[in-house]
Structure 1
Amino acid sequence: MDTVIYNPKPSYFMYSNVNQQGNDQAVDMRNNNQPPASQASTSHSSESAGDPCGPGKWAARLLRDCAKALSEKDSSRIHHLLWMLNELASAYGDCEQKLASHFSQALFCKATEMGELCFNTLSSVAERSRSFESARKMILKFQEVSPWTTFGHVASNGAILEALDGESKLHIIDISNTFCTQWPTLLEALATRNDETPRLKLTVVTTVSMERSVMKEIRQRMEKFARLMGVPFEFHVVSELYRLAELTKEELGVQDDEAVAVNCIGALRRINVKDRDAVVHMLHTLGPKVVTVVEEEADFTSSMDDFVKCFDECLRFYALFFEMLEESFLPTSNERLMLERECSRSILSVLACDEGDGGSCSTEESERRERGRQWCDRLKEAFSPVGFSDDVVDDVRALLKRYRAGWSLVLPQGDDDSGLYLTWKEEPVVWASAWKP
C-alpha cells in the first residue's frame, strides 16, 4: 500500500468555499473525459506530436491552468482547480488520471510550501521498502518492454569497448543508476575477444541513499558472473557520498597503468546545476580514454525563474514518459507502478522544492535535466566529442527492432550537437554521447 502524502479528500484542502457548479463540472469531466471549456481554456492549443494538451487530454489543460494560477497567486482559482483535479485524479487510473494525480500533488505542495516535507517523506518510504529483488525486477522488466535504458547501455558499451581496445588493465568508473545491469554484456564481450582477456576493475559510485545491502548483492552477482566469463575482475564501491558533487579523484583509486573509462548514465542531472561544471572538470583530471554520458532529453534549468514555463516542460516530458509506460506495460504491472512513483518524486522535486538549490528538496541529488545540446556546451569546456562508429550505430538499430513500433534512432543535427537520440513517436526522449579529453 502506498504512503499517500496528497490525501484524496476535498476536505483536506479546506475547500468549503468551492461551489456546487465546480462539483457539477468535475462530474461532467469524469463522465465525458473532457474538461469544460470555461475551466480548462489554455493558450497552449497545439495538437502537434508530443503536445500533452491534444484532443481528449483534459489533465494537462487543468494542470496548466492551475500552474498559471499559482504563478499569479490567485488563491481562489488555485483552490478551485486543485479541488477539480482531486476529484478526477487517480494514481491507479488511466494515463490522464495518473498525470493529474502526480502533478496535482506537486502543485498542492508548491501552493502550501510543503514540497521539502513531502519529498523527504516519500523518499524515506521508498528507501525503507527498497530491496535488491524488487529493484532488479523493475529494471529488468523495464528493459524488456522499452529501450529507454538499454539504448544508453548499448551505445555506451560500444564506445567503451572501442576506446579501451588492446588495453590490458581496464578501470571503468560507473556513475549511474543502472544497478550494474549494463555490465554483464560488456563482460561477455571482453571474454570473447581474440586477444588476451584484460583485467577489469569496476568502481561503482553511489550516494548513501542506495542501501549497502543492495550493493552487497550486486557485488556478489557481478563477481560470480565475471568468474563464469573468465574475466579477471575487481569490484569497488564509493558510497559515503551525500552528493555526487563531493566525489574526488582520490576516492576513485585510479592507477597510472590503468586505461580509464567513465560511464555517466542518468548521473549528471543528479548534480546541482551550480556544481556541474566543477564535476565535469574533475572527470577530466582522471585522464580517461572515454567518458560516456546518457541523459533524458528535457530542459528543467533554463526556465527555473519562470514557474509556468518550467511546468510546461516538465509536463511535456512526463506526459511522454507516462504514455510510453501505458503502452509498454500491462495495466496491473507492479513494475510500472514503481516507475511512476519514482516519476512522482522527480516531479515533486522539480516543481515544489527549493529552486535556489538546483530544484532538489534533498541534500543528495537534483532532478534538473538538460537537453543534449546543453550538455554538449557544458562538456565541450573539458572534452571533445567522439562520434559513434557505424558498428555501434548498427548495434543500436538492431536493439530497437526488438521493441514495439514507435521507437527510432536520430543522428545529431548540426555542428553544435553530438551523440545519438532515442525518439518515441518522433519525440526525442534520451540522448547518448561519448567524449575524450
Structure 2
Amino acid sequence: MAYSFFSEGSNINRRKFPSKYSILPILENATANWFPNLSDESGDFKRLKRTTSVGEFIESNASNGSITRANSTSSLSKLQFRDHIWMYSQRYLAAEAVEEAAAAIIGSEDGEKEEQVNEDGTKLVQQLISCAEAVACRDKSHASFLLSELRANALVFGSSFQRVASCFVQGLADRLALVQPLGTVGYVTSKMNIVENGLERKDEAIRLVYEICPHIQFGHFVANSSILEAFEGESSVHVVDLGMTLGLPHGYQWQGLIQSLVKRTRPLPRLRITGVGPCVEKLLSIGNELETYAQSRGLSLEFSVVESNLDNLKPEQIKILPGEVLVVNSILQLHCVVKESRGALNSVLQIIHDLSPKVLVLVEQDSSHNGPFFLGRFMEALHYYSAIFDSLDAMLPKYDTKRAKMEQLYFAEEIKNIISCEGPARVERHERVDQWRRRMSRAGFQTAHLKMLTEAKRWLNNINAIEGYTIVEEKGCLVLGWKSKPIVAASCWKC
C-alpha cells in the first residue's frame, strides 16, 4: 500500500495535538525568529498525483493561518532560547493529520484487527513526531523517554512502517547524542562519517538495491539511452562519470553502454571513460574489468581515473582530446555538494559547463530533504522513505535478510544522515526536480527534453517490476515513482 500522510479532501476535526510541544520550525543554528517556507519549491506534482506530505501540509497552513509569537511559558520556559520562537496557531490541525497518516500507513484487515493495527500505527506516528519535536527543542529527558518507547514498537522485522520508523529512531538517537546543553546554540559536529561507516556492508547493500529495486537501473537506462543518442555517428566519444555510478562493482552501467554501442553503432567509435572519485584502487579495478569486457566485444576502450571528490574537483583534472564528443554522467551524486552556501555546487556546475559537454545526464532522488528546518526535513523524509519501504514490502517476504540489509545498511544510512547530521557532515541533501531545474538554469544549462517515455515504460515492463511502479514525464524529465510518490527523477541538460 502507498503511504499518503494526508488524503485529498480530508475532513479535519481540529483536535488538540497530543504532543508536549507544538510544531516548531527549528533552524539548524537554532537562532531563527521567523518562518520561511519549509521548502524552496512548489509542492505541485503534475507528473504523478503527489500526495501531500506532512511537511507540505504544515507549510500550506502556515501560509494561510495566523502566526503568533510563542511565550516562554509552561514546558518551553526551561528551554531558554536566545531568540523568540514563532509557533503556528493552527497546530491543532496536526492531530487529525497524524491520525490520517497512521490510517494510510498501516492499513489492515477487517474487524477488530484493523482497529488495533490502526491504533498502534497512530501511536507510533505520534510518538515519532513528538520525539522529533523534543529533539528539536533539545529536551533530552523527554526525547530519551520517547525513544525508549519507540524502540519497543519500531521493529526491524515488523510492518513496513515499523521498519522505517526503526531507521528514524536511530537517526533521532544520533541527533540527540550531539545536542549541546540547553542555553547554547547549534549542534556539535559528528565525528562519525556515516557514509563511510561499514563500507563493505554498504557495498553489499547497494548491490542488492541495484539488483532488486528499479531506482538505480532506471537512472542507468535513461542515461545510457541519452548517451547513445549523443554519440550517434561520432567516431571518438568520452564519458565523464561523476562518482563512478555509486561505486557499484563491475561497472554495470558501462557494460550496458558497451553492449548497446556494439549492437547499434557501425563503425564502432573509440570510447573513453573517466571515472571521478576518491577510491582509486576500486575505480581502477572497475576500469580494468571494463577494458577487458570491451575488448572481448571488439570495442576500443580507454579508462582513466580522476582522484577527487566533487567538492575538490579541478577543471584541469579532466582531459579532453580534440575532436571527441563529451558527455557528463551524474547518478545520485550532485546532491552531495549542495551546501548551505551553494558555492560548492556552483563550482562543480561551472567546471562542467566549461567542459562544454554535448549533454549532462542528471539523476537524483526527487524529494525535499534539504530545507532549513529540521522538522520539515524529518516530515519530508518520513513520507519519502515510507513509500520506499512500502515498495520493498511488496517485493520481498517479511523476514527476508536481503530486504533487511537494504533497509538497514543503505536506506537507513541516508535517513540517519538527513536526520542526525548538520553542516558539512550532512551530504544527503536531496531536492525536488523543480529545484534542480532552477539550479541548472542559473548555472547556464538548458533542458534537453527526454522523449523516451514509451521506451521507459517498455523497459519497466521488461525488468518485471512489480505493479505499483510508474514512470511519467514532466517538462522534459522522466520520473520513477511508487504509486503516488515520486522516487527518482532523470533529466538531461545542454550548455
TM range (shorter): 0.7 to 0.9
Question: Deviation of residue 332 (structure 1)?
Answer: 4.4
Question: Deviation of residue 118 (structure 1)?
Answer: 7.0
Mapping of residues 120-199 of structure 1, within 5 Å: 120=193, 123-127=195-199, 129=201, 134=204, 138-139=206-207, 141-175=208-242, 176-177=245-246, 179=248, 180-199=251-270
Q: 2:417 aligns with which of 338, 349, 357?
A: 349
Question: Deviation of residue 213 (structure 1)?
Answer: 4.4
Q: Deviations over 1:5-48 (max 9, x none)?
A: xxxxxxxxxxxxxxxxxxxxxxxxxxxxxxxxxxxx84533748
Distance (Å, rounded) in 1 between the aligned partners of 2:285 and 2:401:
22
Is 1:434 the equivalent of 2:492?
Answer: yes
Give the residue type in structure 2 aligned to 1:152: G
Distance (Å, rounded) in 1 between the aligned partners of 2:103 and 2:282:
37
Q: Deviations over 1:130-166 (max 9, x none)?
A: 66xx46xx52x43443321111111111111111211
Is 1:322 the equivalent of 2:322?
Answer: no
Distance (Å, rounded) in 1 between the aligned partners of 2:106 and 2:130:
12
Mapping of residues 58-137 of structure 1, within 5 Å: 58=122, 59-113=124-178, 117=190, 119-120=192-193, 123-127=195-199, 129=201, 134=204
Give the residue type in structure 1 aligned to 2:144: H
Q: TM-score, normalised by structure 2?
A: 0.69
Distance (Å, rounded) in 2 between the aligned partners of 1:329 and 1:222:
32
Give the residue type in structure 1 aligned to 2:432: R
Aligned twin of 2:350:
281
The question of whether the paired residues in 1 share the 8 Å contact of 2:156 and 2:166 is answered with yes
Question: Deviation of residue 385 (structure 1)?
Answer: 0.5
Aligned twin of 1:404:
466
- Secondary structure (helix, strand or coil) at the match of 1:182 reads helix
Question: Deviation of residue 397 (structure 1)?
Answer: 0.7
Q: Deviations over 1:194-234 (max 9, x none)?
A: 521001101111234xxx44334322321221112211101
Is 1:45 the equivalent of 2:98?
Answer: yes
Q: 1:307 to 1:129 in 2, by over 3 A?
A: closer
Is 1:339 the equivalent of 2:406?
Answer: yes
The question of whether the paired residues in 1 share the 8 Å contact of 2:453 and 2:472 is answered with no
Give the residue type in structure 2 aligned to 1:410: V
Q: 1:330 to 1:206 in 2, by over 3 A?
A: farther
Q: 1:45 to 1:53 in 2, by over 3 A?
A: farther
The question of whether the paired residues in 2 share the 8 Å contact of 1:49 and 1:427 is answered with no
Give the residue type in structure 2 aligned to 1:90: L
Q: 2:320 aligns with which of 220, 231, 254?
A: 254
Q: 1:419 aligns with which of 477, 480, 486?
A: 477
Is 1:375 the equivalent of 2:436?
Answer: yes
Distance (Å, rounded) in 1 between the aligned partners of 2:102 and 2:260:
39
- Secondary structure (helix, strand or coil) at the match of 1:181 reads helix
The question of whether the paired residues in 1 share the 8 Å contact of 2:98 and 2:125 is answered with no
* Aligned CA-pair RMSD: 2.6
- Secondary structure (helix, strand or coil) at the match of 2:198 reads helix
Aligned twin of 1:296:
365
Q: 2:287 aligns with which of 219, 222, 244?
A: 219
Distance (Å, rounded) in 2 between the aligned partners of 1:323 and 1:287:
41
Question: Deviation of residue 167 (structure 1)?
Answer: 1.0
Q: 1:367 to 1:130 in 2, by over 3 A?
A: closer
Question: Deviation of residue 307 (structure 1)?
Answer: 1.6
Q: 1:262 to 1:103 in 2, by over 3 A?
A: same
The question of whether the paired residues in 2 share the 8 Å contact of 1:52 and 1:60 is answered with no
Distance (Å, rounded) in 2 between the aligned partners of 1:111 and 1:77:
11
Distance (Å, rounded) in 2 between the aligned partners of 1:124 and 1:268:
17
Aligned twin of 1:27:
none
Give the residue type in structure 1 aligned to 2:384: F
- Secondary structure (helix, strand or coil) at the match of 2:413 reads helix
- Secondary structure (helix, strand or coil) at the match of 1:428 reads strand
Distance (Å, rounded) in 2 between the aligned partners of 1:408 and 1:49:
24
Q: 1:62 to 1:177 in 2, by over 3 A?
A: same
The question of whether the paired residues in 2 share the 8 Å contact of 1:170 and 1:199 is answered with yes
Q: 1:326 to 1:292 in 2, by over 3 A?
A: same
- Secondary structure (helix, strand or coil) at the match of 2:252 reads coil
The question of whether the paired residues in 2 share the 8 Å contact of 1:145 and 1:329 is answered with no
- Secondary structure (helix, strand or coil) at the match of 1:269 reads helix
Aligned twin of 1:269:
335
Distance (Å, rounded) in 1 between the aligned partners of 2:168 and 2:469:
26
The question of whether the paired residues in 2 share the 8 Å contact of 1:155 and 1:396 is answered with yes
Q: TM-score, normalised by structure 1?
A: 0.78
The question of whether the paired residues in 2 share the 8 Å contact of 1:172 and 1:201 is answered with yes
Distance (Å, rounded) in 2 between the aligned partners of 1:255 and 1:311:
46
The question of whether the paired residues in 2 share the 8 Å contact of 1:170 and 1:200 is answered with yes
Aligned twin of 2:43:
none
Report percent identity of matched pairs. Answer: 28
- Secondary structure (helix, strand or coil) at the match of 1:429 reads strand
The question of whether the paired residues in 2 share the 8 Å contact of 1:70 and 1:111 is answered with yes
Q: 1:142 to 1:130 in 2, by over 3 A?
A: closer
Deviates more, 1:58-67 or 1:71-80: 71-80
Distance (Å, rounded) in 1 between the aligned partners of 2:483 and 2:197:
34
Q: Deviations over 1:336-374 (max 9, x none)?
A: 3332212222222222122x33xx25xxxx110010000
